[in-house]
Amino acid sequence: MILSVGCTLGYEVQSPTANFTFNILANRDPFQHVGDEGIRLTPDLPIGERTATSKGNRVFRVEAPAGMFEVTYRAMVEVRRPAMPAEVKIDNPGRLPLSILTYMLPSRYCESDRFNQHAWDLFGKISNRADQVREICRWVDATLVYAPGATDSRTSAWDVWQLKKGVCRDYTHLAISMCRALNIPARYVGCYAVGLEPMDFHACFEAWLGGQWYLFDPTDSIDPYHIAVIARGRDAANAALTTIFGRVNAAPVKVRCTVAPAVTSPE
């Protein structure tokens, strides 16, 4: 599946300068190939630094002077994700790679230690790990009411559990917390996704099942082939799409993600 993704972010810089770190580039990993892509800055400013993390997160930095500033990104992304196995046995936590164990621990927004009893009461009798994660997604979607504006950047999974409402970020944090409470490694994913209404950046998660990461969407049940990963982290704190230092007013975000038309060869 080839996805056409992009976004436009606009700002009015009110301080003499502002420093931006953008984490909006499509991720490069074994299951996601980034083809043609481009970044346009208005005004035309130099990109100060580009870097990529071990998880494939790609960031770039810009210093913008006072006034209007806009960044536009576009890319073509080929997505080839592994199919979910019918059955996944329980992993022995003591045999997991150390790099995976960190995704079993509580984090700032995912207080999995507070959900231990709830998770085992709800899902502990399910022996198939894949079914456990699928059931967690169904339960989160049925438990929460999608309510933009009901939560903010300080809201954690435990807060959402009490409120029973939130947005995709909150659904994802709650699902991750439940997975970790069951000793299933889970990590946050910021992404572009086809079919969102209204279109925006999206949040979902990956669970480590049988030696492989698999992508799940607890909010809209979007097909993994229709998702282009941007950033991964323990929770949203590790996968911020923008980090800004300076006094700035932000314009509404414009995001695009569609299935690219199939290219047919001339006869």
CATH of the domain at 150: 3.10.620.30
Whole-model pTM: value is 0.93
Q: What is the crossing angle of helices 129-143 and 168-181, to 10°?
A: 140
Q: Report percent pLDDT > 90 for the chain.
A: 82
The helix/strand count (H/E) of the chain reads as: 5, 13
pLDDT confidence tier of residue 263, bands split at 50, 70 and 90: low
| Residues 102 and 211 placed together within one structural domain of the fold | yes
Residue 87 lies in a domain: no
**108 and 123 in one domain?**
yes
Closest C-alpha to 139, from 104, 179, 180: 179
Q: Is the pLDDT confidence value at 24 over 90?
A: yes
How many angstroms separate the CA atoms of 76 and 25, rounded?
11
Query: Is residue 53 domain-shared with residue 114, that is, in the same domain?
Result: no
Q: How far apart are CA 116 and CA 121, in angstroms?
A: 9
Name the domain count of the chain.
Answer: 2
Asked if the structure places residue 16 within a domain, the reply is yes
Sequence-distant (≥ 6) Cβ neighbours of residue 234 within 8 angstroms: 102, 103, 105, 107, 108, 110, 187, 188
pLDDT tens profile 147-177: 999 999 999 999 999 999 999 999 999 999 9
**Is residue 70 located within the same domain as residue 202?**
no
| 71 falls within a domain | yes
- Please report the pLDDT score of residue 262 as a whole number: 66
| Distance of alpha carbon 181 from the chain centroid | 20
Q: Which residue has the tokens 């930095």?
A: 61
In a shared domain, residues 16 and 133: no
37 and 118 together in one domain: no
141 plus 173 within the same structural domain: yes
Whether 32 is covered by a domain: the verdict is yes
Please report whether residue 266 resides in a domain: no
Dihedral angle computed from the Cα positions of residues 197, 244, 57 and 75, in that order, rounded to the nearest 10 degrees: 50
Rounded CA-CA distance 184/63 in Å is 40
**233 and 246 together in one domain:** no
Residue 192 and residue 252 in one domain: no
Q: Are residues 226 and 255 in the same domain?
A: no
Percentage of the chain beyond pLDDT 70 is: 98
Domain with 57 in it: 2-79+242-259
| Within-domain flag for 38 | yes
